[in-house]
Amino acid sequence: MTQHSEFEATEFLSDGRAPTADRAQTLDIRFTGSGSEYFRIWIVNLLLTLITFTLYWPFARARRLAYFQNNTLVGRDPLGFHGDPWKMFRGYLLMVMFGVSYWAVSNLAPALAWVPLLLLAVLWPALWRASLQFRLRNTSWRGVRMSFEGDLKGAYLCMLPFFIPVVLIGMVFGVVASAMQGAEAGAAGAVFAAVTGVVVLAMTALSPWLLARIKRYQHGGYAFAQERTRLDAGLGAFYGFSFRAMGVSFLCTALLAGLGAIVAAAAGGFSGAAVIMLPFLLALAYLVFPLLLVPYTTSRLQNLLWANTRSRRIRFDSQLQFAPLVALTAKNWLFIALTLGLYWPFAKVHTARMRLEAMGVSVQGDVNAWLAKAQGGDKGILGDAAGDFFGIDMGL
């Protein structure tokens, strides 16, 4: 009798259905945390962070991550968080040292203030990758650690387009700075403004493509039990998401402009009453965009990414709805304002529950069998050297 490995590639029928021999099962995601429990953690973290002049922040972050992951159940089994807060503390000290060095250079040698920023830009893809590796390596489900398998070259390649416009603007600025000493200063300034405008417009037009590159690298590097995910969303899906988000942004702007016109007309033009109403319009603008645009982009991007993230045996899904998220966001903001910020941990718990429970995981085959095999062959025991030693965690 032919022996088949538990990790053979899954074969699919022509109509897209999985073979009946490799039956799929759906694992619901539930969040069991409560606002009152997290409030106690949050208030202690806040006080200790203030008392220690932010030095307790990595330990507070470790406690928060452990609480949220331990209360996230996938198929009735919780996620685990194993991050060492002392390693996260080393990563935090590294970033603090960079901030202090930038402050010192900016004040003692302003002409060299660009050097620390250039160094950070060069190191950022590596730090980002180390952050992903640290977070995934210290997350587990049913005793099996997750990992991030994206390589360093891929991290730099996916972010390379961000550096090109910066280099172009820097080169043009250098040319303009030298020309400013001569008689053609006005023309040089106009050239610099034109080049900067073209670069900004080009980056705006290419932003969906850049987002797709980053998310394909990120969601294409998640690994669990010898299963590595990929992101199947095409470039058109990202442009569609961006155009719709832009439409919502224009709608919010038009709404505010219409309200402003109504107020001005009711007050008899731009009179004293209209000036008095201006702060209220600005406050309304401050609320409209977070209450409409942020929930829209959050729900649509989560659905786009996770509904198209899959591996041979694992498929994710997300059905986060826009209207309930708007209602929850409005309620959270109202109670945060009424309680002077003390409702914040309750808001975090409610938002996490809605976002997590909108997701589901479909797994093919006998989960117990391939998890048992994965437990015996966990190859990433040391994790990434930089990410593991420094505990880089950027919250990505």
The residue extents of the domains of the chain are: 238-298
Per-residue pLDDT at 258? 75
Q: Which two tokens stand for residue 138?
A: 């210290």
Per-residue pLDDT at 396? 47
Give pLDDT < 70 ranges for the chain.
1-22, 166-189, 191-192, 263-278, 280-282, 375-396
Per-residue pLDDT at 3? 42
Per-residue pLDDT at 303? 98
For residue 14, with 0-12 CB atoms within 10 Å meaning exposed, 13-18 middle and 19 or more buried, which class applies? Answer: exposed
pTM comes to: 0.84
Residue type, 186: G
| Spatial separation of the C-alpha atoms in residues 190 and 176, rounded to whole Å | 9
Task: Find all residues with CB under 8 Å of 143, minimum gap 6, and list them.
Answer: 371, 375
Per-residue pLDDT at 284? 72
Per-residue pLDDT at 327? 96
Per-residue pLDDT at 264? 66
Per-residue pLDDT at 325? 97
